[in-house]
A = this chain, B = another copy of it.
Amino acid sequence: MSMEESVKYVSVIGATGYVGAELVRGFASHPVFRFRHLTSQTFAGKPYSEIYPEFRGIVDNVCEDLPYEDVAKDSDLVITALPHGVSAKIVPELLKAGTKVIDHSGDFRYKDVATYESSYKLTHPNPELLKDVVYGIPEFYREKLKSAKLVANPGCYPTCSLIALAPFLKGHLIEEDPIIIDATSGVSGAGRKTDLAYSFCEADESFKPYGAVGHRHTTEIAEQCSFLAGKNSGDIKVTFTPHLAPFKRGMLASVYVKPSGSFADVSSEKINEIYKEFYKDEAFVRVLPGKTLPDVKAVAGSNYIDVNGVFDPETGIIKLFSAQDNLGKGAALQAIQAANVMFGLPETSGLKNIVRGI
């Protein structure tokens, strides 16, 4: 635990993957958090900046491989960037040691354990924890985050889709079926992997759908849609198709829905207004003006998510669009945003001015 009031210590378990690296980038310029442990089994003993040379002179901390208990005991916050299945076992140990935890896996994102288990083909070892976990989208669960011990950082596709859908689901302005989400991610979404499919010669100039039936994020999106609409897990289902595109960072969701009876005055202008009203106090949700549509380029490297929508009067379909950085608002930087809330800091601390530039 920190001695100085004004400094908080954060540790990252699994710090050398891409989510880990973005956590490191984000926290490196944070005014309050300082790194305690950066753990890596593969790179233990090596300076972080040897694995990611852009951090040379900035984050030269040596990667450690130490017991989870030891990571937790002198950290105010531990962030786990581990595969699902692994997190489910480790997180309870961390909590027991008294630290707060933000987990990046799918293991704690669901309220309905059966949905988790059928989506991930796993038996959850600690289902009793799920009830008190806070799903880490501050725009939806800010109050709960303030006292959260364990935060499940949402999936990248879910964050992108839900921010686009929330005002309309909450306001019962759209029909709950069909909800069609066509989404595209940059290659970093696959993680720091050596699969041939993600090699430069295979991924460059490639564009393709994948996981067109049964992608795990489908049920995560659906459960949160149900909650946003004031319903129970499982009440709303969504059609979700992810695509892989040849850029490193960024994600776009294009969402197709129909206005409900209570949205009789639906129009592109009205959609824009609803967004503006709903997100008027949010620092990181940018509602684009007029008919300007989101572009992943504008959010890359940041915690911003840009949204807008249009109505097609010919077919009666509403099109909603949202763009975020899959590693930013879609993962690591949203975790920092959540951490700010958890520790009573200004929500934008360390995040406001991070932009990638040209």
Which residues in A have some Cβ–Cβ distance to B below 8 Å?
18, 21-22, 25, 28-29, 53-58, 177-178, 180, 182, 184, 186-188, 192-196, 198-210, 212-213, 218, 237-239, 241, 243, 245-250, 252, 254, 256, 258, 268, 283, 286, 288, 291-302, 304, 306, 310-312, 314-315, 317, 319, 321, 323, 327, 352-358
Contact = CB atoms under 8 A, between A and B. Distances in A.
Nearest to A50: B289
A248 B310 contact: no
Nearest to A352: B58
A312 B237 CA distance: 11
Given A25-B357, A246-B247, A355-B25, A295 B241 contact: no
Of A22, A292, A358, most B-chain CB atoms within 10 Å: A358
A199 B201 contact: no
Identical copies of this chain, number: 4
Contacts of A205: 186, 247-250, 296-297, 300
B187 A200 contact: yes
Given A58-B353, A209-B321, A357-B21, A238 B315 contact: yes
Nearest to A294: B208
Contacts of A199: 187, 192-194, 198-200
Contacts of A193: 199
25 contacts: A29-B354, A54-B298, A55-B355, A56-B306, A58-B355, A178-B256, A180-B256, A184-B245, A186-B205, A187-B199, A187-B201, A194-B199, A209-B252, A213-B319, A218-B314, A237-B314, A238-B315, A239-B314, A241-B254, A246-B246, A246-B247, A249-B358, A256-B256, A301-B356, A301-B357
Contacts of A249: 205, 357-358
Contact of A180 (B180, B288, B314): B180
A245 B246 contact: yes
Given A297-B54, A357-B25, A198 B195 contact: no
A187 B203 CA distance: 12
